[in-house]
Amino acid sequence: MIQTNTKTEENIEQSLDLKRLIFEKLIDFGVSEEVAAYLNMLVLLVGLLIIIFLIDIVIRKLLISAFNQFAKRSKTNFDDLLVSNKAPRNIAHIIPLLIAIEFVPDVFTDFYNFEIIVEKILKVFAIVLTLWIARSLLHTVRDYLKTLPRLKDKPIESYIQVFMIFAWLAGVMSAIAIITGIPFLKFLTGLGAISAVIILVFKDTILGFVASIQVSINDMLRIGDWITFEKYGADGDVIEITLATVKVQNWDKTITTIPTYALISDSFKNWRGMTSSGGRRIKRAVNIKQHSIKCLSEADIESLKKIELIRSYLEKRQQDITEFNTSHNINKSMPLNGRNLTNVGVFRKYVQTYIERHSAVNKDMTIMVRQLAPTSQGLPIEIYAFSTDKRWVNYEYIMADIFDHVLAAVPYFGLEIFEYPSSITLNTEK
């Protein structure tokens, strides 16, 4: 037992001799003790910094190289994301930091106050390094989850931001507690007095956090959704959902930023239902002049039979109407008596048949050509259908192609399109 204590004391004395080697040499050269102590500390500090710097470089290169080699051999891309998010680089700083904490007391042997300050700085840096590592790992998890089909459109960024906000808040409070020397729990209880101020400062963050949870749980919005938010002038694809904001890339490539909590406090339109369905809705009408609507005569029907799409329909309808009028002794000297075909009714049937046979219209979804209530602008004949191609440019082309044909077909049925008289027409009439 006595021998063990003796060896320990000898090791301590050798360590002290080594730490004060430069100090003793300077004293031998006639340097004052105070100056020698400062120079001794400075040399030891520079030496420690050089050693830590070299160790940090070596460990960082070895760790990054090992991760890269492992990433090449592994089938998953999680390790690749770890490297891209600098997780190995941040982890490599741990060992140099531990070495610095271990040897700081030796460097500042004669300067206790400096030792306390440097130790506090290193502890604060340890907190920051822990947060850096946590952020790198969370960003890696975020990027990996976004590669999964089921999760790539979820607002994962919001939850990571919430965690990091609380982590940074805890880190800042821990750092203040370390610097001031106040125990953490005692420091934490002292924050109760200023909790109202904290809530006021982080009001938007709290609202955004609550909103992001509701948006996620209710599946109101996903990344990639096309939304229209008239209040904020947004009309385009959602490209990012964060804790505080939602970024929408409009069709003109501008970016609109919307507060996340506005998604639950205001009304917006999400077009996901359309994009996930089998088609994009076409809902547009042509207005027919009401004075051009009339019953069709036999000559009119024979003329319209030249239109192949409705020839069989006209033949069958003409036969049914003739049999009905004959069996009921209808006086056809007045066209209004009995059953008759009208030019607008035949036109509706023609458009219906044309839409049903159009190659770009989804046949499994609603196809309807209907007559709306007459207005001062004429009688609206509305086409209600769904295009198979949901892409905006192609959708507009399909709709334009349909109405090009419909508008051109109107005169063949003895109908006219309503339009306000132009100035040229007015001058002609005068």
- What pLDDT sits at residue 217? 66
- What pLDDT sits at residue 271? 80
368-371 and 245-250 strand pairing: unpaired
For the chain, residues with pLDDT lower than 70 are: 1-35, 71, 151-155, 158, 184-202, 216-217, 275-276, 422-430
- What pLDDT sits at residue 80? 73
**Whole-number Å distance between alpha carbons of 45 and 118:** 11
Ordered domains of the chain (ranges, CATH): 5-182 (no CATH), 215-276 (2.30.30.60), 280-417 (no CATH)
- What pLDDT sits at residue 10? 47
- Give CA angle at 353 (350, 358), nearest 5°: 120
Q: What share of the chain is helix, strand, coil (3-state, %, to 5)?
A: 65, 10, 25
Phi, psi of 266, deg, nearest 5: -125, 170
Nearest to 153 by CA among 261, 210, 227, 231: 227
- What pLDDT sits at residue 307? 93
- What pLDDT sits at residue 154? 67
Output the furthest CA–CA distance in the chain (Å, rounded): 141
- What pLDDT sits at residue 23? 57
The radius of gyration of the chain's CA atoms, rounded to the nearest angstrom, is: 41
- What pLDDT sits at residue 248? 92
- What pLDDT sits at residue 334? 84
**Whole-number Å distance between alpha carbons of 27 and 23:** 6
Lookup: tokens for 425: 């027409």
